Amino acid sequence: MSESKRNGLSTFLIAALAIGLTACTPTRVDPKLQLANVTDWQHGPSANLATDPVELASWWRGFRDPVLDELIAGAIAANQDLRIAKARVREARQMVTVAESALYPTVEFNASGGRERSIDRVFAAPGPKGIELIAPEGNAFSGGLAARWEVDLFGGRHLAAEAASAQASGAREGERAVLVGLLAQVATNYLELRGVQARTRVLQEHIANETERLRAVRALHKAGLVRDFDVMRQETQLHATEAGLPVLSAAADNLIHRLGVLSGKPPASLHSRLAPPEPMPGAAPQLPKLLPASLLDQRPDLRLAKTQVDAAAASLGVARADLYPKLVLSVSGGFGTLATGGYAALAEAVYALGSGISAPIFNAGRIRAQIAAADARLDQAAAQYEKVFLTALEDVENAYVQLRSMTDRRDRLLQAEVVAERSRTEADALFRQGATDLLGVLDAQRSTLQISDQRISAETGMAVATVSLYRAFGGGWSEHPGLKTVANAD
User: pLDDT (tens digit, 9 = 90+) per residue, 338-349?
Assistant: 565 555 555 666
Closest-CA residue to 153 (of 29, 23, 26, 28) = 23
Cα–Cα distance between 13 and 331 in angstroms, integer?
20
pLDDT band of residue 268 (cuts 50, 70, 90) is: very high
Of 3-17, 40-54, 227-241, 371-385, minimum mean pLDDT range: 3-17
Q: What is the mean pLDDT of residues 55-81?
A: 93
Which is more confident, 19 or 452?
452
Q: Which of 5-19, 96-110, 196-210, 318-332 has the lowest mean pLDDT?
A: 5-19
Higher per-residue confidence, 265 vs 106 = 265
CB 116 within 8 A of CB 338: yes
User: Do residues 341 and 156 lie in contact, with contact meaning Cβ atoms separated by under 8 Å?
Assistant: no
The sign of the CA dihedral 128, 129, 134, 138 is negative
C-alpha–C-alpha distance, residues 472 and 297, integer Å = 13
CB of 441 closer than 8 Å to CB of 428: yes
Query: What is the pLDDT at residue 412?
Result: 96
Chain centre to alpha carbon of residue 396: 18
Return mean pLDDT, the chain.
Answer: 81
Confidence label for 462 from pLDDT (cuts 50, 70 and 90): very high
**How would residue 261 be classed by pLDDT, with cut points 50, 70 and 90?**
very high
d(CA 113, CA 100): 34
- Centroid of chain to Cα 196: 29
Residue 120 has a pLDDT of 57
Flag whether pLDDT at 107 surpasses 80: yes
Average pLDDT over residues 323-333: 82
* 334 pLDDT higher than 60: yes
pLDDT band at 127 (very low <50, low <70, confident <90, very high): low
- Assign 147 a pLDDT band (cuts: 50, 70, 90): confident
CB 18 within 8 A of CB 461: no
pLDDT at 407 (0 to 100): 95
pLDDT at 237: 86
pLDDT surpassing 70 at residue 67: yes
The answer to whether 206 and 215 are in contact (CB under 8 A) is: no
Give the best-scoring range by mean pLDDT among 12-16, 210-214, 259-263. 259-263
Query: Sorting pLDDT into bands at 50, 70 and 90, what band is 479?
Result: low
On whether the CB atoms of residues 191 and 464 are closer than 8 A, the answer is yes
| Span 49-65, pLDDT tens digits | 444 556 788 999 999 99
pLDDT of residue 134: 56
On the question of pLDDT at 486 being above 80, the answer is: no
Tell me the three-class secondary structure of the chain, residue by residue: CCHHHHHHHHHHHHHHHHHHHHHHCCCCCCCCCCCCCCCCCCCCCCCCCCCCCCCCCCHHHHHCCHHHHHHHHHHHHHCHHHHHHHHHHHHHHHHHHHHHHCCCCEEEEEEEEEEEECCCCCEEEEECCEEEEECCEEEEEEEEEEEEEEECCCCHHHHHHHHHHHHHHHHHHHHHHHHHHHHHHHHHHHHHHHHHHHHHHHHHHHHHHHHHHHHHHHHHHHCCCCCHHHHHHHHHHHHHHHCHHHHHHHHHHHHHHHHHHHCCCCHHHHHHHHCCCCCCCCCCCCCCEECHHHHHHHCHHHHHHHHHHHHHHHHHHHHHHCCCCEEEEEEEEEEEEEEECCCCCEEEEEEEEEEEEECCCCCCCHHHHHHHHHHHHHHHHHHHHHHHHHHHHHHHHHHHHHHHHHHHHHHHHHHHHHHHHHHHHHHHHHHHCCCCCHHHHHHHHHHHHHHHHHHHHHHHHHHHHHHHHHHHHCCCCCCCCCCCEECCCC
Sign of the four-CA dihedral 453, 455, 461, 464: negative
Is the predicted pLDDT of residue 433 greater than 80, yes or no? no
Phi/psi class of residue 434: alpha, beta or left (left: φ > 0; alpha: ψ in -120 to 50)?
left
Decide which of 217 and 186 is more confident. Answer: 186
pLDDT of residue 308: 93
Instruction: Specify the pLDDT at position 35.
Output: 57
Instruction: Return the higher-pLDDT residue of 272 and 359.
Output: 272
pLDDT computed for residue 185 by the predictor: 97
Domains of the chain: 45-103+152-324+359-486 (1.20.1600.10)
